[in-house]
Each structure stands twice: as C-alpha cells, then as structure tokens.
Amino acid sequence: MAKSGGGRKRPTLEMVAQRAGVGRGTVSRVINGSAQVSPRTREAVHTAIAELGYSPNQAARTLVTRRTDTIALVVSEPRDRLFDDPFFPDIIRGVSTVLHERDLQLMLTTARTEAEHKRVGDYLSGFHVDGALLVSLHGDNPLSARLFEAGLPVVHGGRPHSPDQPAPYCVDIDNIGGARAATRRLLDQGRRRVATITGPQDMNAGVERLRGYREVMASAGIGVDERLVVQGDFSVDGGAEAMERLLDTGLEPDAVFVASDMMALGGLRVLRSRGLSVPGDVALVGYDDSVMARHSDPPLTTVHQPSVKMGKEMARLLVDVAIPRAVDTETVMLDTRLVVRESG
C-alpha cells in the first residue's frame, strides 16, 4: 500500500473555526481586527491559531479588506546616499518603530531619475501599499501629484520645493530657525566675514536654511557678498568641493555656516589641507547633529534636528490621520536646537 506523501497538511481557516468552536466568518472577523467579537471568542480563536500554527493567506485577506498592511518609504536619492547620510537611517528607524507597534510592514525604495520615479509611481498607484512616505523630493518631482491623483494616502517628510505639489499631510523641520541660530552663534563669536555652504536649492530645506542665514546677516547690518554663498549637495564630497570654491574667492571668510554635517566634514578636511585651523582661523557650524559631528576633530558645533522623531511623526500621521482620512490636512513642525561644541 502506497504511503500518502507530503507531510503535515497546512492548517486552514475551517480547521481554526472547528478548533475554536465558532463559524468561519467569526474567525475572519478576528483576523481582520473587527470589534464585533466578544473577548472570550477572540481569545478562543487566537488560541486555536496558535495551536494549529495557522497563517492567514495575505493575498486573500487583501482582497477582502482592501488593505495590504504595508507602507512604502520612498527616498528620492541615489542608493549609496541612503547608507552614507545618517539622516536617512534615522528616518527609517523612526518609521520602523511606529509601524512595528502597529503590526505593519515597511517597503523601502529609492528613486532619483525620472524613469525610477515613474516605475515607483506606477507600482504605488496600483495600491500594492496602504500609503506612502516621501522623503528628499527635489524640484518639481511629479511623484507627489501622481500619487495624489491616484488617491493613495501620502505624507511628506519636508515640504515639497514646488508650491504646486500637493502635500496635505506633512512633517517638517524648522529649517529657518535652525539656520538663524547657527548664523547668530557665529556672529556672537565676533566673526564678521560669515560665509555659507548651502544645501541644494531645488529642495525646500536648502532654500530655507539659506533664508535663515540671510535674515540674521541682514538684521546684524552686515551685507552679504554673494561670493560667500556657495551651493553644495548635502554630501561630504559636495561640501569639500564647495569649500574649495569658497576659499578660492580670496575673500578669507572667518566663519562658515554649512547646511549639513556631511558637507561640514568635507569642508573641515579642505580647511585642514589649506593649513587653516578650526575654529582659530575659520569657525564652523553644521546642521543635523549627526553621530559623526560628535566625533569629528574638532567636534562640530551644529544644529540638532530630530530626525528619528520626524520618522515617527511621519508614520503616525500616515497611519492615524491620512489613511483613515481623519482630517483633510495636517502639518507637523518640529523644533531644532543649537548644540555647541568646539568648531565654532
């Protein structure tokens, strides 16, 4: 007589219902989190699931509930930037913390080129996720409008650069206030030829940090020589290149507000190579308060932005407000603070 093959049969919904002594529909309601089930029945179903080792069929569940229990985080930067810049791991850590508490999955993707954004937009518009978190959008990136038109709930990390981009739900940092504090610190140290290395001017964060610098310089009655305003790209190499251009002007700045710690570290390397001491010859203030800022030589005075909290607030806003459409629009603004160390 031939043996039946295959081993143990995979548990089914019907088997769970039989073990718990309830109907199949009741099991479905428990699995889908319905409140229309008594605590005793819910406990019986969960016990049966545990004893049988039952795992719900996610595809079938999605068809019934119209939910995937998955959230997308789209970082609009090259893949290597995702791992080089500590800002992004902080965002991911904050987002993951909240999603883990809610039993939701995180789908992480990067997209920088037009073709990559189109591919991501096509996928997300097909409702393979319940909502999306967008970080580091540049210029008039069409992804926001594409997802808005598709009806997918979206939360932006930082306001989009273009006012035409729809962003009803947003978590932002007080970039202007942080830049003001950084520039004021340099002036308070007696510096007068204060330069700045800006972030990308096709990003709201870059624009606002430059605005904060200009406002403080103007209020101090110090005119800004535009040669002391040099654009960077938030990377170490970009900061080094920007510092080279700044020093090559021959204007001999005695202080530089750098719009990110990564760029400040690149700038610090160039200053050292030119034989300039920090903060003796040139005082330096960065922005981020990254781990590297604490361990640079000298340790970097910088603006602390709550990146982990930003990720948490983005996830909370998406899950608790945007997806259930609790309100039509909400913006969360997070404060910054100056962290004084030895560079300026």
SS (H, E, C) 199-245: CCCCCHHHHHHHHHHHHHHHHCCCCCCHHHEEECCCCHHHHHHHHHH
Whether residue 185 sits in one domain with residue 170:
no
Residue 5 falls inside a structural domain:
no
Residue 343 falls inside a structural domain:
no
Most confident of 47-51, 116-120, 121-125, 314-318: 314-318
Determine what percent of the chain is predicted with pLDDT higher than 70.
Answer: 93
Residue 237 has pLDDT above 50, yes or no: yes
- Which stretches of the chain are assigned E, i.e. beta strand? 70-75, 105-110, 131-135, 154-157, 169-173, 194-198, 229-231, 255-258, 283-288, 301-304, 330-334, 337-339
Residue 344 falls inside a structural domain:
no
Q: What is the mean pLDDT of residues 66-93?
A: 90
C-alpha angle with apex 155: 95 to 158, nearest 5 degrees?
A: 90
- What average pLDDT does the structure give for the chain? 90
Residue 138 falls inside a structural domain:
yes
Residue 124 falls inside a structural domain:
yes
Whether residue 294 sits in one domain with residue 207:
yes
Whether residue 226 sits in one domain with residue 112:
no
Residue 44 has pLDDT above 60, yes or no: yes
Residue 252 falls inside a structural domain:
yes
Q: What is the pLDDT of residues 274-296, one digit of tens each?
A: 999 999 999 999 999 999 999 99
Owning domain of residue 323:
70-174+308-335
Residue 6 has pLDDT above 70, yes or no: no
Whether residue 199 sits in one domain with residue 241:
yes
Residue 21 falls inside a structural domain:
yes
Whether residue 183 sits in one domain with residue 156:
no
Per the structure, the count of domains in the chain is: 3
Order of strands, sheet of 194-198, starting from the edge strand that comes earlier in the sequence: 229-231, 194-198, 255-258, 283-288, 301-304, 337-339
Question: Where does the pLDDT of residue 10 fall: very low under 50, low under 70, confident under 90, or very high at 90 and above?
Answer: confident
Q: What is the pLDDT of residue 68?
A: 80
Q: What is the pTM of this model?
A: 0.80
Whether residue 77 sits in one domain with residue 139:
yes
Whether residue 40 sits in one domain with residue 153:
no
Determine what percent of the chain is predicted with pLDDT higher than 90.
Answer: 69
More confident residue, 35 or 77: 77
CATH label of the domain that carries residue 155: 3.40.50.2300
Residue 61 has pLDDT above 70, yes or no: no
Whether residue 277 sits in one domain with residue 190:
yes
Which one of 50, 65, 80 terminates a domain? 65
Question: Where does the pLDDT of residue 3 fall: very low under 50, low under 70, confident under 90, or very high at 90 and above?
Answer: very low
Whether residue 242 sits in one domain with residue 221:
yes
Q: What is the mean pLDDT of residues 176-191?
A: 98
Residue 341 falls inside a structural domain:
no
Residue 52 has pLDDT above 60, yes or no: yes
Which one of 26, 48, 65 terminates a domain? 65
List b or e across 236-271, with b for residues whose CB sees 16 or more CB atoms inside 10 angstroms: bebbbbbbeebbeeeeebbbbbbbbbbbbbbbbbbb
Whether residue 318 sits in one domain with residue 169:
yes
Q: What is the pLDDT of residue 162?
A: 81
Secondary structure (DSSP) of 146-170: HHHHHT--EEEES--SSTTS--SEE
Whether residue 329 sits in one domain with residue 244:
no
More confident residue, 162 or 148: 148
Whether residue 60 sits in one domain with residue 80:
no
